[in-house]
Amino acid sequence: MTHDKKSCVERPRKLGAKWTGKSIAPDEKIETFELDYDGKRDRWNGFDAASYKHVIQRYEARDEARSKYLKEQQLKKLEEKNNNQNGEDGVSDDDDNEDSLKVDEAKVDESKQMDFAKVEKRVRTTGGGSTGTVRNLRIREDTAKYLLNLDVNSAHYDPKTRSMREDPLPDMDPNEKFYTGDNHNRVSGQALEFKQLNIHAWEAFEKGHDVHMQAAPSQAELLYKSFKINKEKLKSQTKDTIMEKYGNAATEEVLPRELLLGQSEREVEYDRAGRIIRGQETALPKSKYEEDVYINNHTSVWGSWWKDHQWGYKCCQQTVRNSYCTGAAGIEAAEAAADLMKANIARKEATEEAPAAVEEKRLATWGSEVPDDLVLDQEKLAEALKKEDERRREERDERKRKYNVKWNDEVTAEDMEAYRMKRVHHDDPMKDFLH
């Protein structure tokens, strides 16, 4: 119903089912659904495992017929053996041995198929095709590595080289894994040694040695062996020197009891004042730094006193290092100076006037206090302003400056007021727009 005779892919019959009425096949099932890029190119898309059932039944029937045939052959041999019991024991034994050595043809074919170690295959070479032995990568009954994890985001499989470097099942128990990825073989066995040999050859070539792993592999391997021997010698020599200097705590030598418990049989007797009467006082351990060294008449070391985030000497309470010690007098003088400073600060705060009183005073333009009876003459102030303008023009253009300069050190209140009025205030944001 779904296709005509011309487009049928099945083997054509001598007489069709239309006339014989036998083996009428059901209609094909056409699946119409949208797939992604991988789904469209899946060679097993739409495959029904039940369609393979007749192939399995055929092989099972063949195996059953074979086993039945073998049993019949064994029964025939037993009957012949019973009939030939008249003095032919030796011959019958030889026949049994021959029968035991014979192998069924089908079994021979199966053994050839099961030999996964060697496969006779056509191998292409540069000189032309030749028959060689190719090792298979796995036993045919084992699960292929790309079927261990069907997740798209799992380990990448390269079909050209049949390699899967990463572990397809990283979360699985390692004891139950059959395959852990090709990288597992790259870092184990002789592969790791060969990698270290290559690295050593590269490093030796960079340091000036004429070594090449591909050009002279024997030389590179011999150099690597000698390098390892020398490295072990140097390591053992360094270890011996360190143990000779500091000792070995891992040895079986028993440490003395004095070191373990910090006790000894030495007896020291003291009097009531703490002086030694008999025996010898225990010596305190000394450090590599100088201790109890006093300079500049000090009786304490630097850093024995601290105040206001500063270190100093405890004997004189000075914070200047390498200063001369002043003793108790210096401490009293420092305290008196601190008290005097506090008193001056308190007196200044008491006599300080309020800001409002200061603002009431009238100030001149130049910032000094102006007496109440001061009156500026407006004509003199205008003349002073003109003079200030001329002076500023001369300062800006030196060509207008005169040779004979008259010096006058008498400055009136009007001149000072004009100077202050014309002076440029640098804090003024409009100072650039004055001229």
Quote the pTM value: 0.29
Averaged pLDDT for residues 387-411: 75
CB atoms within 10 A of CB 154: 16
| 307 neighbors 317 (Cβ within 8 angstroms) | yes
Displacement of CA 401 from its chain's centroid (Å): 76
Confidence of residue 356 (pLDDT cuts 50, 70, 90): very low
Indicate the pLDDT class of residue 108, thresholds 50, 70 and 90: very low
Angle at 55 between CA 52 and CA 56, to 5 degrees: 90
Domain chopping of the chain, boundaries: 114-223, 302-357, 375-401+409-435
Lowest mean pLDDT among 28-32, 216-220, 272-276: 28-32
Question: pLDDT grade, residue 284 (50/70/90)?
Answer: confident
Residue 384 burial (C-beta neighbours within 10 Å; 0-12, 13-18, 19+): buried
How far, in Å, are 134, 174, 307 from residue 182 at the CA level? 19, 15, 70
Question: What's residue 129's pLDDT?
Answer: 53
pLDDT at residue 253, rounded to an integer: 72
Per-residue pLDDT averaged across 62-73, rounded? 94
Q: What is the dihedral of CA 193, 199, 205, 211, to 10 degrees?
A: 20
Evaluate if residue 98 carries a pLDDT over 70: no
Measured distance CA(287)–CA(293) in Å, rounded: 13
Q: What is the pLDDT of residues 135-185, one digit of tens each?
A: 555 677 888 889 999 998 899 999 998 889 999 999 999 888 888 888 888
The b-or-e profile of 312-336 (16+ CB within 10 A means b, else e) is bbebbebbeeebebbeeebeeeeee
> In degrees to the nearest 10, what's the CA dihedral of 382, 388, 392, 393?
50
Q: In terms of pLDDT, which residue wins out, 135 or 78?
A: 78
CA-to-CA distance for 190 and 165, rounded, in angstroms?
Answer: 18
Model confidence pLDDT, tens digit, residues 303-335: 889 988 899 999 998 888 888 998 889 899 889
| 254 has a pLDDT exceeding 90 | no
Task: Return d(Cα 58, Cα 49) in angstroms, integer.
Answer: 16
300 vs 31 pLDDT, higher one: 300
Contact 134, 121 (CB under 8 A): yes
